């Protein structure tokens, strides 16, 4: 498992945290560490290419209604 730090734009309250948490929990192969306003820390299968991980996480964040601005 590899740890990823997500920077997320558009979050402003506890509801935002809940929405992103629920969406990230639907991603197979992902272990959710923390979600706070504007950021999240997850662990993901390290056998996937970085581009695939970025696409999966970008999609999940967008499905929750926010924008992934940085992933490292």
d(CA 70, CA 68): 6
The pLDDT value recorded for residue 48 is 85
Residues belonging to the chain: 72
Burial class for 6, CB neighbours closer than 10 Å (0-12, 13-18, 19+): buried
Count of domains for the chain: 1
Q: Please report which confidence band the pLDDT of residue 9 belongs to, taking 50, 70 and 90 as the band edges.
A: very high
The pLDDT value recorded for residue 61 is 98
Range of the domain at 10: 2-71
CATH of the domain at 51: 3.30.70.100
For 11-70, how does the pLDDT look when each residue is reduced to its tens digit (9 = 90+)? Answer: 999 999 999 999 999 999 999 999 999 999 999 988 888 899 999 999 999 999 999 999
Q: What are phi and psi of 37, to 5 degrees?
A: -60, 120
- DSSP state letters, 7-25: EEES--SHHHHHHHHHHHT
The pLDDT value recorded for residue 28 is 92
> Whole-model pTM above 0.75?
yes
The pLDDT value recorded for residue 45 is 84
């Amino acid at each position: 498992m590899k740890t990823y730090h997500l920077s997320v734009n558009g979050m402003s309250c506890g509801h935002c945290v809940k929405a992103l948490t629920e969406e990230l929990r639907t991603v197979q192969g992902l272990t959710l560490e923390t979600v706070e306003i504007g950021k999240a820390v997850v662990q993901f299968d390290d056998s996937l290419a970085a581009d695939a991980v970025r696409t999966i996480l970008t999609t999940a964040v967008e499905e929750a209604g926010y924008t992934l601005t940085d992933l490292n």
